[in-house]
Amino acid sequence: MTAGAIRNRLNPEDGVTITEMLVVLAILGVILAGMTTLFLSATSSQIEQSNRYQAQHNARLALDGLRREIRCAAAVTTVSPNLLTITLPGYCQKPVTGAPAPFTWCTVGASAPYELWRYSGSSCTGTGIRRAESLASNAVFTYNRASAGPVQTTPVAGGWVAGGFFQPENTYSYDVTALTSAGTEISGSVQSLTIVPMADRSLSPSQITVSWSAYAGAVSYNVYGRDDGATTAEGLRLLTNTTSTSYVDFGAGFASVASPPLGTVGISLVLDLTVADTRQRFTLGDDIVLRNSGRR
């Protein structure tokens, strides 16, 4: 190709029109908008999944902590849907101590999302540790003794004689359960009596009268005693089975070594990062049997 031909080829000043340029920019804008939406959606999804995993992870750790403490607890002292106070023996605490102490788990917040906190002490105050968050409900705890079986009155000591069976300053506890025709055994709350010494300290009771209200649907009652069941399961053994609503304990041997049903604490942690539409709702739950106590 000659120099003249090359020059003639380069001389034309033809280009794209403004209309063509606008069409190209419009197409490019649509593509970029779609890609931007895709990237933003992916980023938002990653953040939501990360937050959801973290909330579930914390809730699982909280549930594991509740399992350990409830199974080791010596007593349940307070229970409501949003609060649980238990007594931990010294060997169940970290660090290990020489004396039992109360610990409280409770939900905090005026409205959802709620938080689950653990406090050292018998109330939901003071210095605590947050164990879970993003709870959609503050109703976390249930207890199989909350709907009590037979309602006992305070046991009454009597028959003060020299050398009576029931010794002053000792505590004696009783658990009355209702047996239904379906074979279900329903426990009431434990009632205890601490023997107060009389002026004449040579005398002590020879009997303790246990009484309770009739329970609808009961065909008979089991009466368990007699050691301090407020802090330990040991010693609460079957004294008698009766159709009456009272029993006089003269200190005789146990009818059998059977013990009353153990208490069970139900846990339900309902998590949701988007409470309004429930699209991330997740529930962790368990029924935890008190191994060291459960008598109250």
144 falls within a domain: no
Reply yes or no on whether the pLDDT at 144 is more than 50: yes
- 231 plus 161 within the same structural domain: yes
Q: What is the pLDDT of residues 266-281, one digit of tens each?
A: 999 988 877 667 777 8
145 falls within a domain: no
Task: Give SS3 for 5.
Answer: helix
* Total domains in the fold of the chain: 2
9 falls within a domain: no
Q: Distance (Å, rounded) from C-alpha 55 to C-alpha 47?
A: 12
28 falls within a domain: no
145 vs 38, higher pLDDT? 38
246 vs 31, higher pLDDT? 246
- 177 plus 103 within the same structural domain: no
Expressed as residue numbers, the domain containing 200 is 156-249
- 60 plus 127 within the same structural domain: yes
92 falls within a domain: yes
Q: Residue for token digits 């000659």?
A: 2
63 falls within a domain: yes
Reply yes or no on whether the pLDDT at 233 is more than 60: no
Task: Give SS3 for 42.
Answer: helix
276 falls within a domain: no
Q: Which of 135, 164, 183 is the last residue of a domain?
A: 135
- The radius of gyration computed from the CA coordinates of the chain, to the nearest angstrom, equals 35
Q: What is the pLDDT of residues 5-29, one digit of tens each?
A: 766 666 665 666 788 788 888 888 8
Amino acid (1-letter code) at residue 180: T
32 falls within a domain: no
153 vs 2, higher pLDDT? 153
- 178 plus 127 within the same structural domain: no
- 244 plus 160 within the same structural domain: yes
CATH number at residue 96: 3.30.310
- 161 plus 121 within the same structural domain: no
Q: What is the pLDDT of residues 43-83, one digit of tens each?
A: 677 767 776 777 778 888 889 999 999 888 877 888 889 99
- 185 plus 238 within the same structural domain: yes
Reply yes or no on whether the pLDDT at 195 is more than 70: yes
Task: Give SS3 for 132.
Answer: strand
How many Cβ atoms are within 10 Å of 65's Cβ, its own excluded? 16
Give residue 294's pLDDT band: very low, low, confident or very high (50, 70, 90): very low
Mean per-residue pLDDT of the chain: 84
Contact 100, 231 (CB under 8 A): yes
> Which two tokens mark 37?
């939406």
Q: Which of 100, 135, 170 is the last residue of a domain?
A: 135
